[in-house]
Structure 1
Amino acid sequence: MHTLLPFLLAMIATVVLLEMWASKLRIAYPILLVVAGLLISFIPGLPVVKINPDLIFFIFLPPLLFEAAWSVSFKEMKKWWRIISSFAFLVVFFTALTVAIVVNHFIPGFTLALGFLLGGIVSPPDAVSTGAITRFVRIPKSTSAILEGESLLNDASSLIIFRFALIAVSTGHFIWQQAALSFLWMIIGGVAIGLALAWIFVKAHKWLPTDAPSDIAFTLIEPYCMYWVAEQLHSSGVLAVVAGGLFMSSKRLFFLNSTSRIKGYSVWESFVFILNGIVFLIIGLELPEIVEGLRAHGTPLHTAIGYGVLVTFILILARMISAYTALVATIIFRPSVIPHASSRRRRLLMPLLLGWTGMRGVVSLAAALAIPVTLDNGTAFPERNLILFITFIAILLTLLVQGLTLPTFIKRSRLFDGIFAEDDSEVVSQRIKKELRHHSYEFLKNKHENEWKGHDGMQQLLHHWEEKTKASDDSWMDENIKTIFLEMLESQRQYLSKLNKDVTIDEEIIRTQLYQIDLEEERLRMI
């Protein structure tokens, strides 16, 4: 323990320093973390990082999925649900099937079940990598919404494939009827369990006398609870966390106060950043041990590298084919829903962009490490080290090849030229601010005329919002006026919530305004 703890603390420090360096170099930090982990692993005397395969999903996935569900725009997901669903389910299954067929044909000893197991592991693109890479280039909200929504759902679909393939490899047989029923229960049961527990958690936050620290502590354990309960009932813990997270995100204004939302945002941002960083470092740190396992099994390193390159090529090709197939189907059946496809050139390049955003990362590594070392009968799990090595190569190559070239591709293709002039979020944001000021003034004016006419403090507050200037002295803010001010802020939240129903308004703008209202409320409480 005394040896491992300093090493873990050093890992966290390394993650932070490499993220700073990545920002300075303007490249995605997962790329540097993977390479750094690989280089660090060659330092002699370092302890070997080992994680129990039974715990890998439970440690990393629930909080990462929960935070992603809170961050994604559910309104945008509904808007582009056809494209998101096709990439999250159909494309993942097509990719896993393609990988299974190819490796069964080219890799000796790989059965179709092992092929599907590998396909389920490497099929889902990584949301963290894509987000970290696209932060240095400007892309339309529709494109980012598709990528975020896909990454939230494709984890569930790929892990369902992984689970059934793992059962087939372990038992040696696969019964389609039972698999179909289990598949339905995993989906329906996972969503139902997640929504039911989320509803209970929302009520608990409202009924219990919680404060900001207890609210944040509850949100940290809630995704683990959703995942564990769903898994105990043989359903999908991933879908439970996603469904529950989306439900609680939509209700955040009703069961969390402004203090909990502001502090919780910072805590979760740091927590998820550390988790992601550690996982990407582990990707590199695990490689030497995986290579030793390959050598012990008698697989030459250059042969294993060739298999990894082959699988990576299949992943990229399958996603490209899927993207253009989706384009053709959309043009034929739903031409009106193609996002920003105002020109033929843009229509042809958009699937190429979506196809090139298939970087692999956290979920693929977690799934590969979750493969048991032995089968139920005690024999070694077939081709475990080779599957781990191929997964590492796929993660490394997609991060380096696609990750380093994606920003350049977006800039040089000039794919989004002219789009931001038509859809400038700053213009929309200024319009919403103006409407919100008008709404606030009308709210206070009505209060003044009906309840507080002649009150000096109320008159100053009304003048403050009429002129929108900051007073140098807050002594006029007595408890009565503070109460009205808080009522006004709550009225602003309700107004923004109604305004968010407009599908033409970017939800991120609404969330920014709500966050500023929370900050204003906190400032007011400190007066």
Structure 2
Amino acid sequence: MEMAPYIILLFIGYLVYTLDFKKENLPVSPILVFIGLVLSFLPVYEDLTITADFLYHVLLPGLLFVSAYQFPIKYMKKYASVIAVLGTAGILATVILSGLAVYWLAQPFTTITLIAAMLIAAVLIPTDPVSVVQILSKDLNDELVTNVVEGESLLNDGTSIVVFTFLFTWYSTAPQGPAEALTQFLYVSLGGIGIGAAGGWLFGRAVHFTHNRTYQIMLSIIVAYAVFLSAEAVHVSGVLASVFAGLMLSSTFSKTDKESHFRESLDSFWEVVEVSILSLLFLLIGLVAAPYLFHHLWTAVIIFFTALLLIRWFTVETMLRFIPFKHESTFKERFLISISGVKGAISVYLLLKLETLSGTEIDLISSISFSLIVLSLMLQSLAIHPVAMLMNKK
């Protein structure tokens, strides 16, 4: 693999993170995506091949692990019921409603099958609200919003892939029966959770064997990727494995009197890794998406985007308002949670995986989905700060 283009991308990411002094007004993610779109026209990047495997097996495990590890375990426990409902039942409801909406709204513009519309909905379920959470943390003194947004994202990354895989199999071969589909869903999800939790627990014990911080960091890299690859090897969710390894490690550290020592050594390394991976991911999203943005369906895409935001708001509003949770939420909190689901790397991975199939409808799905991802990264990221400030004043 030619390394020079990737080193240039990292340098661009460094410049953007360094020079963007007003990250709440102009978040890093839309800037990097826009730069990626521009770079796609340069000869050095026109022929750059970005594969689903590179995104999934190289970049995502480390990012998922550090995101989960840094998420305060006390808040995961505190808002576990809200996060679990939105990350499971919320996903299924959103996929069904969004798929039906895309299918129905597309009719005046193009011909699309119902299962293809459902695939578009599944592609757009995973969220990557890293910059959004940072903005919300600065703008609001509201731990429910920031922690539910971040916690739901960790969970729905895994469950959305399971839902997509079911729909992908249905689209490419034949539909499964309800019992078979439910069994497969439970096997893939629980298997990934089990492997991740075991890996995180083992690391929490093994880290005591050495006081050398360098060796502890080495071990964390091994665990982050080992649980992911082990889960994928037995055909369960590697994403959920990485997430629960990080959560289990965070929980284990919170129970020891050496938590600050362990976190100090790991944080200094993984914070650098996280920013580096995010820089690459957002730039690569722009590079990958660019060829799919030249089409005649932008009116339909804008209608889809609006409809999907309304469905997301309706789902969050309904579930958080009418299900009796321990922690009550206000309209402002529910609204901010609903608009904070910015799309990201996993959606791009799912689209690249979908392109292993061929056909006119696959091209249609890719064009619509990539356009919606770019709109989400550009518009939602930029809207979070002014909307949060406006609702805070009210």
Secondary structure, aligned partner of 1:234: coil
Partners in 1 of 2:22 and 2:78 — Cα distance? 35
Larger Rg: 1
Partners in 2 of 1:139 and 1:361 — Cα distance? 26
1:388 alignment partner in structure 2: 366
User: CA 1:47/1:211 → structure 2, altered by over 3 Å: closer, same or farther?
Assistant: farther
2:64 alignment partner in structure 1: 65
1:337 alignment partner in structure 2: 327
Residues paired across the two proteins, number: 389
Q: Is the 8 A contact 1:33 1:281 kept in 2?
A: yes
User: CA 1:120/1:129 → structure 2, altered by over 3 Å: closer, same or farther?
Assistant: farther
Secondary structure, aligned partner of 1:383: helix
Partners in 1 of 2:203 and 2:44 — Cα distance? 46
1:79 alignment partner in structure 2: 78
> Which is worse superposed, 361-370 or 312-321?
361-370
2:274 alignment partner in structure 1: 272
What's the CA shift for 1:202?
3.0
Q: Is the 8 A contact 1:195 1:243 kept in 2?
A: yes
Q: Is the 8 A contact 2:192 2:231 kept in 1?
A: yes
1:244 alignment partner in structure 2: 245
Partners in 2 of 1:381 and 1:217 — Cα distance? 44
1:349 alignment partner in structure 2: 332
Q: Deviations over 1:475-513 (max 9, x none)?
A: xxxxxxxxxxxxxxxxxxxxxxxxxxxxxxxxxxxxxxx
> Any gaps of 5 or more consecutive residues in structure 1?
295-300, 340-346, 375-379, 418-527
User: CA 1:109/1:37 → structure 2, altered by over 3 Å: closer, same or farther?
Assistant: same
1:400 alignment partner in structure 2: 378
Partners in 2 of 1:361 and 1:133 — Cα distance? 17
Trace 1:157-236 onto structure 2 (pairs within 5 A): 157-207=159-209, 209=210, 211-236=212-237
1:362 alignment partner in structure 2: 345
Q: Deviations over 1:347-372 (max 9, x none)?
A: 33332222221221222222222324
Partners in 2 of 1:6 and 1:256 — Cα distance? 41
Q: Is the 8 A contact 2:158 2:237 kept in 1?
A: yes
What's the CA shift for 1:111?
2.9
Q: Deviations over 1:43-83 (max 9, x none)?
A: 34434332232343112221111111111122112222222
TM-score, normalised relative to structure 1: 0.68
User: CA 1:328/1:262 → structure 2, altered by over 3 Å: closer, same or farther?
Assistant: closer
What's the CA shift for 1:33?
0.6
1:328 alignment partner in structure 2: 321
2:9 alignment partner in structure 1: 11
Q: Is the 8 A contact 1:215 1:256 kept in 2?
A: no
1:309 alignment partner in structure 2: 302
What's the CA shift for 1:319?
1.2
1:40 alignment partner in structure 2: 39
Q: Deviations over 1:323-353 (max 9, x none)?
A: 22124304xx35x6214xxxxxxx3333222
User: CA 1:256/1:235 → structure 2, altered by over 3 Å: closer, same or farther?
Assistant: farther
1:52 alignment partner in structure 2: 51
User: CA 1:201/1:45 → structure 2, altered by over 3 Å: closer, same or farther?
Assistant: closer
Q: Is the 8 A contact 1:213 1:260 kept in 2?
A: no
What's the CA shift for 1:269?
0.6
Amino acid at match of 1:14: I
1:110 alignment partner in structure 2: 112
What's the CA shift for 1:231?
1.6
Match of 1:20 among 10, 14, 18: 18
Q: Is the 8 A contact 2:194 2:241 kept in 1?
A: yes
User: CA 1:86/1:257 → structure 2, altered by over 3 Å: closer, same or farther?
Assistant: closer
Partners in 2 of 1:204 and 1:79 — Cα distance? 28
Q: Is the 8 A contact 1:120 1:158 kept in 2?
A: yes
Q: Deviations over 1:83-114 (max 9, x none)?
A: 22222122222221122223333265533332
Q: Is the 8 A contact 2:129 2:341 kept in 1?
A: no
Q: Is the 8 A contact 1:30 1:129 kept in 2?
A: yes
Partners in 1 of 2:124 and 2:319 — Cα distance? 21
Q: Is the 8 A contact 1:320 1:356 kept in 2?
A: yes
Trace 1:443-462 onto structure 2 (pairs within 5 A): none
What's the CA shift for 1:135?
4.8
Q: Is the 8 A contact 2:313 2:338 kept in 1?
A: yes
User: CA 1:271/1:204 → structure 2, altered by over 3 Å: closer, same or farther?
Assistant: same
What's the CA shift for 1:136?
4.4
Q: Is the 8 A contact 1:96 1:119 kept in 2?
A: yes
Partners in 1 of 2:235 and 2:118 — Cα distance? 20
Secondary structure, aligned partner of 1:286: helix
Trace 1:495-510 onto structure 2 (pairs within 5 A): none
Amino acid at match of 2:328: I
Partners in 2 of 1:413 and 1:205 — Cα distance? 45
TM-score, normalised relative to structure 2: 0.90
1:88 equivalenced with 2:81 (yes/no)? no
Partners in 2 of 1:45 and 1:55 — Cα distance? 19
Higher RCO structure, 1 or 2 (CA under 8 Å, sep 6+)? 2
Secondary structure, aligned partner of 2:139: coil
What's the CA shift for 1:406?
1.8
Amino acid at match of 2:217: I
Q: Is the 8 A contact 1:89 1:157 kept in 2?
A: yes
> Any gaps of 5 or more consecutive residues in structure 2?
none
Percent identical: 27
1:464 alignment partner in structure 2: none
Q: Deviations over 1:439-461 (max 9, x none)?
A: xxxxxxxxxxxxxxxxxxxxxxx
User: CA 1:129/1:365 → structure 2, altered by over 3 Å: closer, same or farther?
Assistant: farther
Partners in 2 of 1:157 and 1:255 — Cα distance? 34
Partners in 2 of 1:45 and 1:141 — Cα distance? 44
Secondary structure, aligned partner of 1:364: helix
